[in-house]
């Protein structure tokens, strides 16, 4: 049903599409073709004629046969090859389409109204070359009572809250989204946090998809603010907020606006500053308005902190920010299609030695709601940068035909680092003495699987940890095994560790 691959320019991908005929008595003959793929606002893939999508891979695909006959209760195969040309990057998409074959020499179709259908096997191709532009933003965020949604009303009644965030992918490759809704009272107390959207969460380039969730639990009367937070693989999530009021008899909620939310970017998204304590450092930031209306931008600077998974923590969990990092001007306007330059000033006090980290948050409020973006500020004050770290296996277990491993990297230095991991699973063969020859056979290992995780988009800050998880398809027999890990983080030498474990019959 779906083939996902990451390839290099000039390479090729081959695979087999299998189709099963579940009729025990009649064969079926199917024609095979290639189609382009679009994604509608509900996240449904729509088949289109080839060459109509700017992200089409139809011209790269060869397949055989063009017509396949599947015997009763049998299986047919279509062999597919995708040849990627050189000089391309980003995402390309298409589908192998199967539908009932009509013999052009037959005249039966003139006398009958045949039932017809189409099935598709989709292809999502990522070409890893040059720059993969992962850029998504929330184009609309709304809240409506369930009584206005007939499909939801039948299931949850009239008083549930339906949150809808329309996410637009303006990059050159598909993104995988994971959304969250957070709700706070007027006093800032968190009252709810739950997932937004569902399914695979994939959004193709040039597509806008509505992510929805329903809150069944009734909120007490009062004023609230809701945030939609969409992780999509970029350096920071897309964020939007709306306010609403719950009364004894009504929900005064914001409906979807005809005007899109403000869409603006900041460059650079990460500011790396090395400065002496007591000295002043200036960085110029460029804020670009990609919308069609002027926007007012306000700023604030808060501490920067990441979760174990490398995601930016909610603002209420970050503590106090340093007062010696400022933006000038702190508020400004940007005309549509234009850019505005602002100055970020860093002046650490004389006793501020080591790494200091802040988050510049830029917000724009409009009739459609509020959007947010920003930049990470990484400051090192002093002369001696120390990069050091350790890596350890936190857990390993076997489940089904796979081995799962959780790994922790700890930054023990005074500077932020980006971490890449190499993972190897080995079978251990213990040494022994051959009784016939008396020869000593030394202990040896056999590599069964290996994986490499490239550095993530967000660094590991000093004194913090980052978690990595591996899943290795491997049905292990009884015996001794070991896991070897290498963490490269830019230090003088990598962090290394090994862990031995034994698989016993029926026991992890």
* CATH number of the domain where residue 490 is located: 2.60.40.2360
Using alpha carbons only, what angle is made at residue 497 by residues 492 and 498, rounded to the nearest 5 degrees? 155
Same domain, 433 and 416: yes
Q: For residues 367 and 379, which has the higher predicted lDDT (pLDDT)?
A: 379
> What is the C-alpha separation between 204 and 139, in angstroms, rounded?
15
In a domain, 257, yes or no: no
> DSSP character for 248?
S
Closest CA to 375 of 462, 271, 461, 289: 271
- Joined together, the tokens standing for residue 190 give 């968190």
What is the model's pLDDT at position 247?
84
Same domain, 366 and 331: yes
Closest CA to 425 of 498, 489, 477, 334: 498
* Total tally of structural domains belonging to the chain: 4
What is the model's pLDDT at position 149?
86
Same domain, 309 and 365: yes
In a domain, 508, yes or no: no
The CATH number of whichever domain residue 94 belongs to comes to 2.60.40.10
> What is the C-alpha separation between 228 and 210, in angstroms, rounded?
12
> What is the C-alpha separation between 408 and 340, in angstroms, rounded?
41
Same domain, 241 and 301: no
Work out whether the CA dihedral 265, 138, 301, 466 comes out positive or negative.
negative
Give the residue numbers spanning the domain of 217: 136-252
Same domain, 289 and 352: yes
Task: Show which of 381, 409, 426 is a domain's final residue.
Answer: 381
Task: Show which of 252, 279, 301 is a domain's final residue.
Answer: 252
- pLDDT single digits (tens) 198-232: 888 999 999 999 999 999 877 888 999 999 999 99
Does residue 2 register a pLDDT over 90? yes
What is the model's pLDDT at position 253?
64
Same domain, 231 and 313: no
Q: Are 414 and 386 in contact (CB under 8 A)?
A: yes
Does residue 30 register a pLDDT over 90? yes
- pLDDT single digits (tens) 319-353: 887 889 999 999 999 999 999 999 999 999 999 89
In a domain, 175, yes or no: yes
Same domain, 143 and 61: no
Share of the chain above pLDDT 70, in %: 95
Same domain, 423 and 335: no
Average pLDDT over residues 294-311: 92
Same domain, 413 and 470: yes
> DSSP character for 320?
P
What is the model's pLDDT at position 453?
85
> What is the C-alpha separation between 506 and 493, in angstroms, rounded?
40
Closest CA to 410 of 295, 292, 497: 497
> What is the C-alpha separation between 80 and 17, in angstroms, rounded?
7
Q: Are 501 and 396 in contact (CB under 8 A)?
A: yes
Same domain, 183 and 214: yes
Same domain, 9 and 122: yes
Same domain, 453 and 396: yes
**What Cα–Cα distance (Å) separates residue 160 from each residue in 18, 207, 442?**
43, 28, 68
> DSSP character for 155?
H
Query: What global pTM score does this model have?
Result: 0.81
């Amino acid at each position: 049903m779906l083939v996902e691959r990451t390839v290099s320019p000039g390479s090729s991908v081959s695979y087999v599409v299998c189709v099963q005929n579940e009729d025990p008595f009649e064969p079926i003959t199917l024609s095979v073709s290639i189609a382009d793929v679009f994604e509608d606002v509900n996240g449904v893939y729509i088949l289109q004629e080839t060459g109509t999508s700017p992200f089409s891979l139809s011209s790269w695909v060869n397949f055989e046969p063009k017509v396949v006959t599947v015997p009763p209760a049998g299986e047919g195969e279509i062999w597919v090859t995708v040849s990627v040309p050189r000089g391309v990057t980003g995402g390309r998409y298409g589908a192998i389409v199967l539908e009932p074959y009509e013999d052009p020499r037959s005249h039966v179709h003139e006398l009958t109204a045949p039932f017809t259908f189409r099935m598709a096997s989709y292809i999502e191709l990522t070409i890893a070359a040059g720059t993969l532009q992962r850029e998504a933003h929330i184009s609309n965020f709304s809240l409506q009572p369930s009584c206005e949604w007939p499909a939801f009303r039948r299931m949850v009644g009239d008083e549930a809250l339906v949150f809808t965030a329309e996410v637009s992918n303006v990059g050159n490759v598909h993104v995988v989204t994971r959304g969250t809704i957070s709700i706070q009272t007027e006093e800032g107390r968190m009252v709810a946090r739950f997932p937004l959207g569902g399914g695979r969460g994939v959004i193709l380039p040039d597509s806008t998809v509505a992510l929805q969730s329903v809150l069944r639990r009734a909120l007490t009367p009062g004023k609230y603010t809701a945030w939609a937070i969409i992780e999509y693989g970029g350096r920071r999530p897309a964020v939007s907020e709306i306010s609403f009021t719950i009364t004894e008899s009504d929900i005064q909620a914001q409906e979807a606006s005809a005007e899109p939310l403000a869409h603006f970017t900041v460059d650079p998204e990460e500011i790396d500053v090395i400065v002496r304590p007591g000295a002043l450092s200036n960085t110029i930031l460029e804020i670009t308005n990609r919308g069609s209306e002027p926007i007012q931008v306000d700023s604030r600077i808060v501490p920067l902190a990441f979760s174990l998974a490398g995601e930016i923590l909610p603002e209420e969990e970050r503590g106090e920010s340093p007062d010696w990092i400022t933006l000038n001007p702190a508020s400004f306007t940007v005309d549509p299609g234009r850019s505005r330059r602002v100055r970020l000033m860093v002046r650490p006090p004389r006793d501020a030695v080591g790494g200091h980290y802040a988050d510049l948050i830029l917000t724009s409020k409009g009739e459609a709601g509020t959007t947010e973006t920003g930049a990470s500020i990484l400051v090192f004050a002093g002369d001696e940068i120390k990069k050091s770290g350790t890596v350890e296996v936190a857990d390993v277990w076997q489940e089904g035909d796979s081995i799962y491993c959780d790994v922790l990297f700890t930054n023990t230095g005074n500077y932020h680092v980006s971490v890449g991991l190499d993972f190897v699973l080995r079978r251990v063969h213990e040494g022994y003495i051959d009784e016939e020859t008396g020869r000593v056979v030394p202990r040896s290992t056999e590599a069964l699987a290996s994986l490499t995780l490239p550095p993530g988009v967000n660094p590991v800050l000093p004194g913090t940890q980052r978690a990595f998880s591996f899943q290795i398809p491997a049905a292990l027999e009884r015996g001794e095994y070991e896991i070897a890990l290498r963490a490269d983080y830019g230090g003088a030498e990598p962090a290394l560790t090994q862990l031995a474990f034994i698989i016993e019959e029926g026991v992890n």
